[in-house]
Chain A
């Protein structure tokens, strides 16, 4: 991966100045390369990785395993994109193995997600089956550990 993109991927809040120094670029080079990556869709967006329970979020998240029928032209793409368009869908991946799409869905409660699955998802033409698995607790999210205090301590000065 481009080192600048990798740096942003790890921490999108670092200043252009700091990234320029670390990578031996000028600030304007950093700014223009980021703008280009945003424009061509390399960078899809920016968000904070949040411990949602701590932030007061009481909604539910579910992983829905979806089997779909591939189409003659385009395989899984058309239907996968259609499913991705629903606001409830946070992530959608084509998978190898026993099912085709892993769809991560958020709702305000169980009923909300169940309704989405029953009324929107499974009624789409080409969707063969769904299996919904609700998330109970987050231990690691986006590379960060949830709910674990700093248990690694270094001496402040050592030889």
Chain B
């Protein structure tokens, strides 16, 4: 019998147009250049340089020994939700009922995705700020929403200006999405600007989704304030948070959403069908992490602050203008003075000096002219990377 040639499917026309038209993450392109090279000093990561604190790992080993490997409630383990409620009350001065207002998710990424899907109808607009983490615009599009970008600027240390937000509001606006401190800039929000944005949300009856993933990592004695704390905001805010950055738990994929009961219920409907529940091992880790509280990250936070001081001084010292970011663990130096684009800068730095930084353009066009350097790296490696970068900058400038 003669086998028929398999027909070549026209995949381009078969794949959903929304997905087909999503751009590939610029980070992935750059990742492929770096992967497999062992000689690279990487300032290109988006996570802490230390593994999860041992007491958290040890608690999970113990839970595995006891055979705790089952599904949990769709909402997440009650003990974890109670712990989250207490933690959020302390850190954000806002209380959520663990039974009706908290949902444990697979990282903040899932929480953000289901929050968009829970409220957006096709054509609804979401205002978000760039440069930002790579998933905002795609997540909005995948929920059939329309991303509306507001640029943050270096002159404002990449804080979001309320007057820029106001200009972007239309009758179709449904959500303002915030993430401060911000990846990739390290920018934070002045409280007075946050108050103005809260007032806008109330005036125009908008939701605010606030991604608080870096909220523990603030420097120079600053206290974090979330938009949920302003008058009239609790009812319209979805507070998204997780364990990845402060507790060095990126690989556990554990996050949560806090929201008024009807919103939490809408998100829960999606979560139960697409995810069922967050892995129980990660939830056990979360319970232990919350028991440790600040003790799990305060030493690291202090150490990040010192590393930030070091890297900001070195970058400015080599003539790459870099503002002193108030949070997260990134600096975002401007590299235009070298005459290179951010992609050229990152690729040539990698090829000539084996130092990896991420081109700002990977975080939207607003990031062009900048590169992201993560300082969650050993101080001696930061110092070495800065020596190499300085050599590179001098060579490019023909010094």
Q: Please report A residues at the B interface, Cβ cutoff 8 Å.
A: 3, 7, 11, 14-15, 18, 21-24, 152, 154-159
The answer on a CB contact under 8 Å between B309 and A159 is: no
Interchain CA distance A11-B382 in the complex, whole Å? 14
Q: Does B47 contact A (CB under 8 A)?
A: yes
Residues of B within 8 A of A156 (CB): 31, 34-35, 37, 40, 42, 44-45, 356
Known interface pairs A156-B45, A157-B31, A157-B42; 12 further A-B residue pairs with C-beta atoms within 8 A, sorted by A's residue number: A7-B306, A18-B383, A21-B313, A154-B45, A156-B37, A157-B44, A157-B356, A159-B27, A159-B46, A159-B134, A159-B135, A159-B183
5 cross-chain pairs, A with B, having the tightest CB-CB distances, nearest first: A157-B44, A22-B306, A21-B313, A157-B31, A22-B310
- The total of chain B residues at the interface (CB under 8 A) is 32
* With contact pairs A18-B379, A23-B306 given, residues A157 and B34 touching in the complex (Cβ less than 8 Å): yes
Residues of A within 8 A of B25 (CB): 159
Residues of B within 8 A of A23 (CB): 306, 309
The answer on a CB contact under 8 Å between B133 and A159 is: yes
Minimum distance in angstroms from A156 CB to a CB of chain B: 4
Interchain CA distance A11-B310 in the complex, whole Å? 15
Residues of B within 8 A of A158 (CB): 27, 31, 44-47, 250
Minimum distance in angstroms from B181 CB to a CB of chain A: 15
Minimum distance in angstroms from B239 CB to a CB of chain A: 22
Output the nearest chain B residue to A6 by Cβ-Cβ distance: B302
Interface centre among B34, B49, B135, B379 (most CB of A within 10 A): B379
Interchain CA distance A159-B310 in the complex, whole Å? 23
Q: Does B30 contact A (CB under 8 A)?
A: yes
- Which of B31, B307, B313, B379 touches A155 (beta carbons < 8 Å)? B31
Residues of B within 8 A of A152 (CB): 51
Minimum distance in angstroms from A22 CB to a CB of chain B: 4
The answer on a CB contact under 8 Å between B306 and A11 is: no
Q: Please report B residues at the A interface, Cβ cutoff 8 Å.
A: 25, 27, 30-31, 34-35, 37, 40, 42, 44-47, 49, 51, 133-135, 183, 250, 302, 306-307, 309-310, 313-314, 356, 358, 379-380, 383
Interface centre among B134, B250, B383 (most CB of A within 10 A): B383
The answer on a CB contact under 8 Å between A18 and B310 is: yes
The answer on a CB contact under 8 Å between A22 and B133 is: no
Interchain CA distance A3-B303 in the complex, whole Å? 10
Residues of B within 8 A of A3 (CB): 302, 306
Would you mind naming 7 contact pairs between A and B with Cβ atoms under 8 Å apart? A14-B380, A152-B51, A157-B31, A157-B35, A157-B358, A158-B31, A159-B134
The answer on a CB contact under 8 Å between B379 and A14 is: yes
Interchain CA distance A7-B310 in the complex, whole Å? 13
Minimum distance in angstroms from B203 CB to a CB of chain A: 34
Residues of B within 8 A of A14 (CB): 379-380, 383
Interface centre among A11, A22, A23, A159 (most CB of B within 10 A): A159
Interchain CA distance A69-B74 in the complex, whole Å? 64
Interface centre among B42, B135, B306 (most CB of A within 10 A): B306
Residues of A within 8 A of B307 (CB): 22
Interchain CA distance A7-B46 in the complex, whole Å? 24
Minimum distance in angstroms from B57 CB to a CB of chain A: 11
Minimum distance in angstroms from B68 CB to a CB of chain A: 24
The answer on a CB contact under 8 Å between B31 and A21 is: no
Output the nearest chain B residue to A20 by Cβ-Cβ distance: B313
The answer on a CB contact under 8 Å between B49 and A21 is: no
The answer on a CB contact under 8 Å between B40 and A11 is: no
Output the nearest chain A residue to B36 by Cβ-Cβ distance: A156
Interchain CA distance A23-B303 in the complex, whole Å? 10
Minimum distance in angstroms from B328 CB to a CB of chain A: 13
Output the nearest chain A residue to B374 by Cβ-Cβ distance: A158
Output the nearest chain A residue to B46 by Cβ-Cβ distance: A158
Minimum distance in angstroms from B2 CB to a CB of chain A: 48
Output the nearest chain A residue to B133 by Cβ-Cβ distance: A159
Output the nearest chain B residue to A17 by Cβ-Cβ distance: B383
Output the nearest chain B residue to A21 by Cβ-Cβ distance: B313
Residues of A within 8 A of B133 (CB): 159
Residues of A within 8 A of B309 (CB): 21-24
Minimum distance in angstroms from A49 CB to a CB of chain B: 15
Residues of A within 8 A of B306 (CB): 3, 7, 22-23
Minimum distance in angstroms from A121 CB to a CB of chain B: 37
Interchain CA distance A72-B306 in the complex, whole Å? 48
